[in-house]
C-alpha cells in the first residue's frame, strides 16, 4: 500500500500537480525515511562490529592454535635437522675415510701397474731387439739368397753353365737313388755320342739314356714377353727348340739293340715343367710319341725310386740260391744239434738212474744202522723201500720219477 502511495506522489511530483502541503508532507516523509534508514544502518553496523569482533577473536584463537602447532612442528623440524646434521657429519667422515682408503689403494695399484708396465715394456723391448736381430739376420740371408739367385740367373743365361746345372741336379738325384754300378755318366755309345747318364736295368744289358740338356732361352723369352706378338714369337721359338731337341735325342740315343726303346729328357726346374705342360702340352705328346719322356726333378726322383726297387728285387732274386744254401746248412746244423741233445739227454737219464740206485742203497744202510742201534736182531718183515729223496724244485735230474720207476 505504502509503495503505491509513494509512487503516486512521485508521479504527481513529476507532473507538478502536488500542493505545498503535500510537498512538505512528502519532504517530511522523506526525512523520516532517511532517519529510519540511518538508525537501521547504525544498529546493523553495531551488530556487524560485534560479529566482526567475535570472528576476529575466533580467528585469533585459531591463529594461536596454528602458531602453537607451527612452533611444535618447528621444534620437531629443528630436532630432525640436528639429527640430519649429525648423520651427515658421520657419513661425511665415513666418506672421507673411504675416499682416503680408495685413493691409497688406487695409488698402490697404480704403482704396481706402473712397475708391471715398466717390466713388461723392458721385456717387450728385449724381445723387440731379438726380433730386430732376427730381422737383420733374415735380411742378410735374403741378400745372400738374392746374390745366389742372381748367380743362378747368370748360370741359366749361359748354355754351358745351364747344362752343368741341369747335369748336377740329375747326377744328385741318380746318385741318391741308385747303387754304384747301376748307372754311368758320360758313357760313350757306338755312334760316338755321349749321353749325360745311362742307367743299367736288371736283366737287360741295354741302358736307359737320360739327357739333362734343355733349351731354356725360348722359355725365358716366353715368360718375359709383354705383348701378344712377343709372346707368339717366343712360343714359336720354344716349339722349334723343343722339336729339334727331341729329334736330336731320338737320333743320337735311341739305338736299336744297344739302348732302351725310350729315353728321358730331364727338365731341371719344376716351374718350367709346369709351363711346358700348361702351354705346350702338344709338344709333350709329340715327345711321347717319339718315345722321349719329359720329366721334372720330382718325376725323375720317383722313377729312380722305382728303378731302385727293381734293382733291389733283382739282387734278391740273384741271391735267392745263396740264401737257400745257407738255409739248408742251417737245417743240417739244427739236425746235428738235435742228435747231440738226444745223446746228452740219454746220459742225463742214466746218471739220474744211478743216483736213484745210490740213494736207495743209502736208505737201506741207514735203516740197518737204526736197527742195530735199537738192538733189533730178530727177523723183521721185508722192509718197504723208502721214497727217494725229492730234489729241490727246478733241479737237474728227476730223481723221484726214476726211483719210482725202479
Average pLDDT for 192-202 = 85
Q: Which domain holds residue 387?
A: 325-405
- Split into its structural domains, the chain has a count of 2
CATH code, domain with 231: 3.40.1350
Does residue 344 share a domain with residue 242?
A: no
* 242 domain-assigned: yes
* 47 domain-assigned: no
* 79 domain-assigned: no
pLDDT tens-digit map of 139-192: 888 877 766 655 555 544 445 445 566 777 888 888 887 888 788 888 888 888
- Other C-beta atoms lying within 10 Å of the C-beta of residue 44: 10
Instruction: Compute the C-alpha angle 360/365/368, nearest 5°.
Output: 125
Q: Give the sign of the dihedral formed by CA 363, CA 368, CA 372, CA 377.
A: positive
Helical segments of 192-269, H only: 217-224, 228-253
Does residue 339 share a domain with residue 225?
A: no
* 26 domain-assigned: no
**What pTM was computed for the model?**
0.41
Does residue 352 share a domain with residue 292?
A: no
Where is the domain boundary, 297, 318, 339? 318
Does residue 359 share a domain with residue 293?
A: no
* 134 domain-assigned: no
Does residue 175 share a domain with residue 257?
A: yes
Q: Give the DSSP H/E element, type plus range, for residue 95.
A: helix 20-157
Q: Which residue's C-alpha cell is 522523506? A: 30
Does residue 383 share a domain with residue 329?
A: yes
pLDDT tens-digit map of 71-91: 888 788 877 878 887 887 788
Report the C-alpha gap between 304 and 319 in whole angstroms.
Answer: 22
Where is the domain boundary, 290, 318, 346? 318
Q: In what order do the strands lie in the sheet with 183-185?
A: 183-185, 197-200, 207-211, 263-266, 292-295
pLDDT tens-digit map of 217-236: 777 777 777 788 888 888 88
* 201 domain-assigned: yes
Give Rg (Cα) of the chain: 70
Report the C-alpha gap between 339 and 30 in whole angstroms.
Answer: 187
- Other C-beta atoms lying within 10 Å of the C-beta of residue 185: 16
Does residue 341 share a domain with residue 309?
A: no
Q: Which residue's C-alpha cell is 505545498? A: 20
pLDDT tens-digit map of 238-249: 888 888 888 888
Q: Measured between alpha carbons, how far is residue 260 from residues 170, 291, 300, 333 in Å?
A: 19, 10, 17, 47
Does residue 306 share a domain with residue 344?
A: no
pLDDT tens-digit map of 370-396: 878 776 545 555 555 555 544 444 444
Q: For every residue of 253-298, which 3-state class applies, written as one string?
A: HCCCCCCCCCEEEECCCHHHHHHHHHHCHHHHHHHHHCCEEEECHH
* 43 domain-assigned: no
Q: Measured between alpha carbons, how far is residue 283 from residues 214, 254, 275, 386 in Å?
A: 14, 19, 12, 102
Does residue 330 share a domain with residue 303?
A: no
pLDDT band at 15 (very low <50, low <70, confident <90, very high): low
pLDDT band at 18 (very low <50, low <70, confident <90, very high): low
Does residue 278 share a domain with residue 193?
A: yes
Q: Give the helix, strand, coil percentages of the chain, each rounded to 5.
A: 75, 5, 20
* 178 domain-assigned: yes
Does residue 308 share a domain with residue 397?
A: no
Where is the domain boundary, 318, 336, 354? 318
- The grid cell for 296 is 721334372
Does residue 307 share a domain with residue 362?
A: no
Amino acid at each position: 500500500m505504502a509503495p503505491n502511495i509513494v509512487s503516486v506522489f512521485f508521479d504527481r511530483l513529476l507532473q507538478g500537480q502536488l500542493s505545498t502541503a503535500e510537498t512538505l508532507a512528502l519532504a517530511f516523509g522523506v526525512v523520516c525515511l532517511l532517519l529510519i534508514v540511518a538508525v537501521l544502518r547504525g544498529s546493523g553496523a553495531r551488530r556487524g562490529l560485534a560479529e566482526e569482533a567475535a570472528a576476529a577473536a575466533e580467528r585469533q584463537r585459531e591463529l594461536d592454535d596454528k602458531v602453537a602447532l607451527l612452533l611444535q612442528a618447528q621444534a620437531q623440524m629443528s630436532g630432525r635437522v640436528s639429527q640430519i646434521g649429525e648423520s651427515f657429519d658421520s657419513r661425511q667422515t665415513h666418506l672421507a675415510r673411504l675416499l682416503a682408503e680408495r685413493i691409497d689403494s688406487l695409488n698402490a695399484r697404480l704403482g704396481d701397474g706402473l712397475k708391471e708396465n715398466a717390466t713388461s715394456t723392458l721385456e717387450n723391448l728385449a724381445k723387440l731387439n731379438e726380433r730386430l736381430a732376427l730381422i737383420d739376420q733374415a735380411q742378410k740371408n735374403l741378400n745372400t739368397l738374392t746374390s745366389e739367385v742372381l748367380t743362378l740367373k747368370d748360370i741359366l743365361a749361359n748354355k754351358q753353365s745351364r747344362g752343368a746345372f741341369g747335369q748336377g741336379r740329375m747326377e744328385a738325384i741318380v746318385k741318391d737313388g741308385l747303387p754304384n754300378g747301376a748307372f754311368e755318366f758320360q758313357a760313350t755309345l757306338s755312334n760316338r755320342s755321349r749321353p749325360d747318364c745311362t742307367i743299367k736295368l736288371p736283366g737287360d744289358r741295354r741302358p736307359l739314356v737320360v739327357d739333362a740338356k734343355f733349351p731354356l732361352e725360348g722359355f725365358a723369352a716366353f715368360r718375359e714377353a709383354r705383348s701378344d706378338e712377343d709372346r707368339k714369337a717366343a712360343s714359336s721359338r720354344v716349339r722349334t727348340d723343343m722339336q729339334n731337341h727331341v729329334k736330336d735325342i731320338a737320333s743320337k740315343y735311341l739305338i736299336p739293340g744297344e739302348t732302351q726303346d725310350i729315353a728321358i729328357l730331364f727338365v731341371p726346374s719344376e716351374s718350367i715343367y709346369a709351363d711346358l705342360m700348361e702351354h705346350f702340352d702338344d709338344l709333350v705328346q709329340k715327345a711321347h710319341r717319339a718315345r722321349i719322356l719329359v720329366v721334372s726333378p720330382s718325376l725323375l726322383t720317383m722313377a729312380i725310386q722305382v728303378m731302385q726297387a727293381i734293382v733291389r728285387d733283382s739282387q734278391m732274386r740273384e741271391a735267392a740260391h745263396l740264401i737257400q744254401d745257407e738255409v739248408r746248412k742251417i737245417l743240417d746244423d739244427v739236425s746235428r744239434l738235435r742228435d747231440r741233445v738226444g745223446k746228452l739227454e740219454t746220459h742225463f737219464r742214466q746218471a739220474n738212474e744211478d743216483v736213484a740206485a745210490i740213494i736207495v742203497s743209502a736208505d737201506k744202510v741207514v735203516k740197518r744202522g737204526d736197527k742195530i742201534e735199537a738192538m733189533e736182531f730178530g727177523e723183521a718183515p721185508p722192509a718197504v723201500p723208502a721214497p727217494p729223496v725229492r730234489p729241490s724244485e727246478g733241479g737237474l735230474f728227476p730223481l723221484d720219477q726214476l726211483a719210482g720207476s725202479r
